[in-house]
Amino acid sequence: MTIGWHFDNTYSKLSNTFKENIKPTPVHDPELVILNEELASTLNLNFSKTDKKKLAEIFSGNSIPEETNTIAQAYAGHQFGHFTMLGDGRAVLLGEHLVNNENRFDIQFKGSGRTSFSRGGDGRAALGPMLREYIISEAIHSLNIPTTRSLAVVKTGEKVVRENLLQGAILTRVASSHVRVGTFQYIAATQNIENLNTLVDYTINRHYPEIKNSKSKALDFLNLVMEKQCQLVINWMRVGFIHGVMNTDNMAISGETIDYGPCAFMNNYDPKTVFSSIDKFGRYAFSNQPPITKWNLARFAECLIPLIDKNEDNAIKLATDLIDNFQNIYEDKWLNMIRDKLGLFGEDKNDKNLINELFDWMEKNKVDYTNTFCHLMNINSDEVYKNKDFINWKNKWKKRSKLNNPTKEKQIELMKKNNPVVIPRNHKVEEALDEADKGNLDKMNKLLNVLRYPYSNNGNLYEFQKLPPASEKNYKTFCGT
């Protein structure tokens, strides 16, 4: 019985400007930590007849399947606003796996050794951050938010040097592609218009084939990417997700959430929430995510200018008008998204005020974002919801809920689709990672099982819904490089 790989590597056929041909650096003593069987089966892959030792060889890159053509991809990026040439410094693309001859997925190893893009880095990754990416990316997927996914994690049997000595690990990441805003910035920086056309055509073919023959291809492309990114950030705002490092190299053209470094979920509602230890000025704070999405899209637009119109002034005007509309599109979508969270049908001119009142109350009283919407679905009855101001607000909400006469069931149904009852709370993630680092995966598996059904209030979830301990107050995340 074969595993079922079906590689068809299109990116590796692009010219060497786009990539470096390179193999993963073999590791000393690989050991499988976790394999995502559910994801494997959706990829038509079958590992049931492969023993653990062989799996470790495969997912460490020590044993490379046939028909692969491994590469490191070139890209650039604005990191915290500063432009830098980057590239896969610790990742190798194994290849593109085709499912049913139709759906194409990048299979990438993260932590697989040095490449020509490594700069000063060791090309490696540590176990904690790779398992963290596994947990959060799978949680985001189950929340019905587009994302790269995690197929496996192996320990390398080697140590990586960070502030402490840590266990080395490799994550197998699955993505609909790894083409980023930064990929366009890299090619645009070389000022080679032929390559820029190649990249645009490649990406349109792969992600937006519907505009392949459009006369205004570059502008349509920008518009579609803007729509996708706008929808993505709306989803993050819906569940309280803070990406933490929205550099342009971490923005996928496919519209998937990518690169889980210092990301985390907000507890009490505070628009200024930042978890990343390196985000000193709150550039990527919760409420800054929409304007930063727009900023990144403007960097993407700059790359496309030469293809939008031969006349540069015209091109700039067209692109600027388009990007300037981001705010309006976002605000409309946001309002509708919150209406869904509140189970409100139709529109009322006072909706914005009603919503702002709730958000102000949550912020002022430091009330949990997720649990507040659970409370409105009759799931959480913390003391805080006995507050007089909140009860007043709730009465207004109840009155507004009657607009368009939805039944109570219909309202709850809408709310249940939009409000998670569990999110990966930071203290639960840390607890699971601590145990996993010692070789015990019980807590991690339990957490993963709960996070697979974030909209179902089944079983005893209290442990996963309760607020973080006071000791978490200054919780910080690290980039994990």
Q: Which residues bind ligand AMP (CB under 6 A)?
A: 86-90, 117-118, 121-124, 249-250, 259, 261, 479, 481
Torsion of CA 424, 476, 134, 80, to 10 degrees: 120
Alpha-carbon span 296 to 290, nearest angstrom:
10
121 contact choice in ligand AMP, Mg ion, none (CB below 5 to 8 Å, kind-dependent): ligand AMP
233 contact choice in Mg ion, ligand AMP, none (CB below 5 to 8 Å, kind-dependent): none
Site for Mg ion in 216-255 (CB under 5 A): 250
Q: How far is CA 53 from the centre of its chain?
A: 31
Q: How far is CA 403 from the centre of its chain?
A: 35
Task: Fill in the per-residue mask, 171 to 200: x = in contact with Mg ion (CB under 5 A), - = not in contact.
Answer: ------------------------------
Given the complex with ligand AMP, which of 173 and 428 has the nearer CB atom? 173
What is the DSSP code (8-state) at residue 109?
A: E
Residue 205: left if φ>0, alpha if ψ -120 to 50, beta else—which one? alpha
Given the complex with Mg ion, which of 57 and 133 has the nearer CB atom? 133
Beta strands in 192-316 (DSSP E): 241-242, 264-265
88 contact choice in ligand AMP, Mg ion, none (CB below 5 to 8 Å, kind-dependent): ligand AMP
Q: How many binding residues for Mg ion (CB under 5 A)?
A: 2
User: What amino acid is encoded at 32 in this protein?
Assistant: L
Tokens of 288: 């800054």
Alpha-carbon span 64 to 92, nearest angstrom:
12
124 contact choice in Mg ion, ligand AMP, none (CB below 5 to 8 Å, kind-dependent): ligand AMP
CB of 241 to ligand AMP, least distance (A): 17
Q: Centre a 10 Å sphere on the Cβ of residue 97 and count the other Cβ atoms it contains.
A: 23
Residue showing the smallest CB distance to Mg ion in the complex: 259
Given the complex with ligand AMP, which of 118 and 387 has the nearer CB atom? 118
- Spatial contact of 218 and 307, defined as CB atoms under 8 Å apart: yes
Given the complex with ligand AMP, which of 77 and 454 has the nearer CB atom? 77
86 contact choice in Mg ion, ligand AMP, none (CB below 5 to 8 Å, kind-dependent): ligand AMP
Which member of 88, 106, 249, 279 is catalytic?
249
Residues 6+ apart with CB under 8 A from 471: none
Alpha-carbon span 127 to 224, nearest angstrom:
36
Which of 91, 157, 93, 159 shows the shortest CA–CA distance to 123? 91
CB of 249 to ligand AMP, least distance (A): 6
CB of 264 to ligand AMP, least distance (A): 15
Output the furthest CA–CA distance in the chain (Å, rounded).
66
Given the complex with ligand AMP, which of 186 and 202 has the nearer CB atom? 186
CB of 87 to Mg ion, least distance (A): 10
425 contact choice in ligand AMP, Mg ion, none (CB below 5 to 8 Å, kind-dependent): none
Residues 6+ apart with CB under 8 A from 323: 222, 226, 294, 297, 298, 301
CB of 155 to ligand AMP, least distance (A): 16
Alpha-carbon span 165 to 105, nearest angstrom:
34
DSSP string, 167-224: EEEEEEEEES---BHHHHHHHHHHT-HHHHHHHHHHHHHHH-GGGTT-TTHHHHHHHH
Given the complex with Mg ion, which of 149 and 341 has the nearer CB atom? 149
259 makes contact with Mg ion (CB under 5 A): yes
CB of 451 to ligand AMP, least distance (A): 23
**Interacting span for Mg ion (CB under 5 A) from 136-144, 258-266, 273-281, 327-335:** 258-266
168 contact choice in Mg ion, ligand AMP, none (CB below 5 to 8 Å, kind-dependent): none
Residue 270 is a catalytic residue: no
Q: Output Rg (C-alpha) for the chain, integer angstroms.
A: 23
Binding site for Mg ion (CB under 5 A): 250, 259
Could you list the active site residues? 249
